[in-house]
A and B are shown apart, each in its own frame.
Chain A
Amino acid sequence: MKKGLKNAISFVSFICLLLILLKISDGIFMPSYQESKKAGVRYTIKGFYKIPKNSIDVLFLGDSSMFNGVSPMELYEQTGITSYNFSTPSARAYMYYYWIQEIEKYQQPKVIVIDPLTFYYSQKEKETHTRKAIDFLKNDEIKIKMINDDIYEYDFETKLSFIIPTLRFHARWEELKLSDIKKIFKNYTSYTLGYNVGTAVKKNNNYEHYMDPKDKKVVMKDYVKEYFDKFYHYCHEKSINIVVLGIPDENVWGYNENEALKEFLSGYDNVYYLDANNNEYNLDWDYDFTDGKSHYNLSGASKMTKYVGEYLTSHYTFEKKSNKITKFYDSYLKKYKKIMVDYEKKYQDNLLKAQKKEQKRIIKEEPKKEEKETAKEIHKNKK
């Protein structure tokens, strides 16, 4: 009996050691997914689990437009509303249904603001985007349910690789750097509360006509209807209000998509569509984008956040927070302001460069423009 007990302890201890080392190897081999110093997908999802339970009023869910578009910390500073931006690049509509189940284990938001750009993406997506949305979730029954969903069509080994990421990323051994090993010691606290800070500045040249009606019919995809329906009913059961935030995106969005969405949402009670395409918040198409298309930099995000904040405060009342929670978010706000100093500096540098570039372009094109105008006048006079 003694030998048997000794063997059992030895075996269990070995398995425990193996699991710990596996966890460390998962941390080393998983890619960084373009994370910056204090923000990125890993910060967004891991950081979520560090905030106090049942402390957030509002939840933001979406793809990269939302990821870069709304700053919960600024929202808190302006309005006192606590929120979290749980978004990942190229997320799909079906992820909202599983994300909300996972989030709801830790938080009970009164309002969920979702990004409808995801409704217009194809059902299949690149593996990197799926991984960003799932890999950093805790290994629990929701994650298992998510990877077993038929929409993914994953084989057994792929499903297992979401639980043990080393199985998927082990081939990265050839490209490992010191920074990969440092990752396991990093503190993934998201002082931005999930928000991904964009500091690049690029002019958007195509915004003028993206909301013009086009000669095409846009129909909501079947998988979107199916999963939004599930999401809607889940939120309804939990008495969570849904707001759909139409973030301007001249890449994916347009008049037809906007109209199709309104028609789709009209079939659901208590789902409000906040159409930001009207630009009531004075988005600067020249300097508020990182990529000139669909992702806001911190200036654009600031304006969007204020706009959303004004809507939320005028339509909802939120419970007063306990001192403990207020203290927590205040401490986060302090840290947020500290890290934003760097981001702000980078943004200002990029803004200056962009403004200089624009000035040069104007100076270059202005004589040509004047020449064209003069030639037109001469031609007109001749006639």
Chain B
Amino acid sequence: MNYASIQFLLFVLATFVVYYLVPSKVRWSILLISSVIFYYLFSKMLIIYLILVTLFVYIISRIITKYEKQKKKILTISILIIVLGLLIFKYNIFLASIINPLIKIFKIEIKTHRFILPIGISYFTLDMISYIRDVYYKKIEPEKNYFKLLLFFSFFPKIVEGPFCKYKDMSEQFNAQNKFDYERNRKALLLIGLGFFKKLVIADRCALMVDTIFDSNLKGLIVLIAILLYTIQIYCDFSGCIDIIGGVAELFNIKLPKNFNQPFFSKSIQEFWQRWHITLGTWLKENIFYPVSLSKINIKLNSKVRKWKNKHLSKFIIIAFPLLFVWLVNGLWHGASWKYIFYGMYYYVIMMIGVFAKPLFDKIIKLLKIDVKSKLFQLFQMIRTFIIVNFGMLFFRASSIKKAFEMISRIGLNISAKIIHKSGLTKENYIVLFITILLLLIYEILEEKGINIREKIEEKSLLIRWPIYLFIIFSILIFGIYGPGFDSKNFIYGGF
């Protein structure tokens, strides 16, 4: 069952009806039942893994606060056990490909197996780590009701693609008296509609061209266009899904954290990663960056480095060491291959160059008397960041690092009608793509200016709202890439 499917909408409708029919005190149980059914439909008997790991987390969280002296050990071991599950399911082949050549001399070989992944394992594993750590640091009380904890980890709108959530925020909402609110639900449906539009009209249309070019040997400007369209594809795919997920959760009066904040308006890579997949960034900051920064090794390193004469270099090392782990984990989380590690390191290196070379850049800006607050300079920064991101996405999409570099070598300025004809999209589809990307850009600009489009639409009278709703619905129905000949592509981030 794909999120961008009629079956999913019918599933949500059924849950919605039952949810508001039952007394508000037990509504959370309807969400739990729906989540369990949803999970079973996706992963069948692998639901047992989710149930058992949640039980483990439940027990650990109840124990950890009772054993003050051993709690650090309990925390460490429990995190290792939870991560072990993820390593076995998702990374066993990759790890074996690294370890086996090294232990070959001992005539030992780690056997591997291509497991079917329990859906959402990359998401709920991290949620579990975050939960246990929050209990450990007494930010939250351990949940006494196992089923409420299971609901948090399995909540069906977010299980497949996130976002990562804090238990405290979610549990308060699950326990709240969620009343039926027509206006709220109308807004939620609008968000779902926008999500479907981004996914089926823009993302999947881009994919037709991107897949053709990435699988071809075509050269010229078309390769650059494909790279650009892939960035748009992955943004619309992921943010579209998040919109659908967010809208569905809102139907039940559950507000999920924001995961995108107009990322293409970023003026630096740091800013980009504060606006793109925001909850992953937050998770990495709280569960990798801070722990590594506060680790004994890092503290020792810091104390040595601070004694260096070159203060800039010492500051650089202080940041670079924990960030190395952040970007390593970021890359690996996206996939079990060297390509994804390269992806993480690509951004790491660019960020570190930015930090290291900052004094030089500041000197150049001063020398050229550039006004950093001017709109032109900010536009330059956005375009620069956008170009860097596009190449990052190329490494993400290409089947291998080698293929990515091979594609870069094929970029050129030549383009012809013949090449466009072979690019996987007709002239009419290019026109639709251009118009819809333009609409998306206008939407993003307005949101960046602080104008909440949904709120503005909902304030208007029926005579304005209804045409907008109908426009969105019929755009999806008519221009959506679905049906025989094109299967609405499974969400890219759903592969995690």
Q: Which residues of A contact B (CB under 8 A)?
A: 4, 7, 10-11, 14, 17-18, 21-22, 25, 29, 127, 156-158, 160-161, 166-168, 170-171, 173-174
Contact = CB atoms under 8 A, between A and B. Distances in A.
B108 interface: no
A255 B462 CA distance: 69
A25 B473 CA distance: 12
A7 B182 CA distance: 7
Contact of A168 (B5, B6, B484): B484
A192 to B, nearest CB: 32
A217 B5 CA distance: 48
Q: Is the interface of A mostly helix, strand, loop or mixed?
A: helix
Given A7-B182, A170-B483, A171-B483, A160 B478 contact: no
Nearest to B469: A14
A10 B483 CA distance: 31
Given A14-B469, A18-B470, A161-B483, A166 B478 contact: yes
B97 interface: no
A107 to B, nearest CB: 34
B150 to A, nearest CB: 29
Given A7-B182, A17-B466, A21-B470, A166 B7 contact: no
Given A21-B470, A174-B428, A168 B7 contact: no
Nearest to A170: B478
Nearest to B484: A168
B101 interface: no
Nearest to A164: B477
A22 B7 CA distance: 19
Nearest to A10: B462
A106 to B, nearest CB: 31
B23 interface: no
A322 to B, nearest CB: 45
Interface string B301-314: 00000000000000
Contacts of B479: 170, 173
B477 A18 contact: no
B426 interface: yes
Question: Quick one: which of B426, B429, B474 has the most chain A CB within 10 A?
Answer: B474
B470 A170 contact: no
A168 B483 contact: yes
A170 B480 contact: yes
Question: Quick one: which of A7, A167, A170 has the most chain B CB within 10 A?
Answer: A170
B485 interface: yes
Contacts of A11: 182
Contacts of B466: 14, 17
Nearest to B182: A7
B174 to A, nearest CB: 26
Contacts of A21: 470, 474
A78 to B, nearest CB: 45
A156 B7 contact: yes
Contact of B478 (A4, A25, A168): A25
A126 to B, nearest CB: 12
Contact of A157 (B6, B426, B462, B473): B6
19 contacts: A10-B462, A14-B466, A14-B469, A17-B470, A21-B474, A22-B477, A25-B474, A29-B478, A157-B6, A157-B482, A157-B483, A158-B484, A167-B477, A167-B482, A168-B484, A170-B480, A170-B483, A173-B428, A174-B426
A174 B406 CA distance: 34
A148 to B, nearest CB: 16
A158 B229 CA distance: 30
Nearest to A28: B478
7 nearest A-B pairs in the assembled complex, by CB-CB distance = A7-B182, A174-B428, A170-B478, A173-B478, A166-B477, A170-B477, A156-B7
A250 B480 CA distance: 45
Contacts of A127: 484
Nearest to B10: A156
Contacts of A168: 483-484
A168 B428 CA distance: 19
B469 A174 contact: no
Interface in B444-484: 462, 466, 469-470, 473-474, 477-480, 482-484
Question: Quick one: which of B5, B480, B483, B484 has the most chain A CB within 10 A?
Answer: B483
Contacts of A7: 182
A369 to B, nearest CB: 52
A174 B6 contact: no
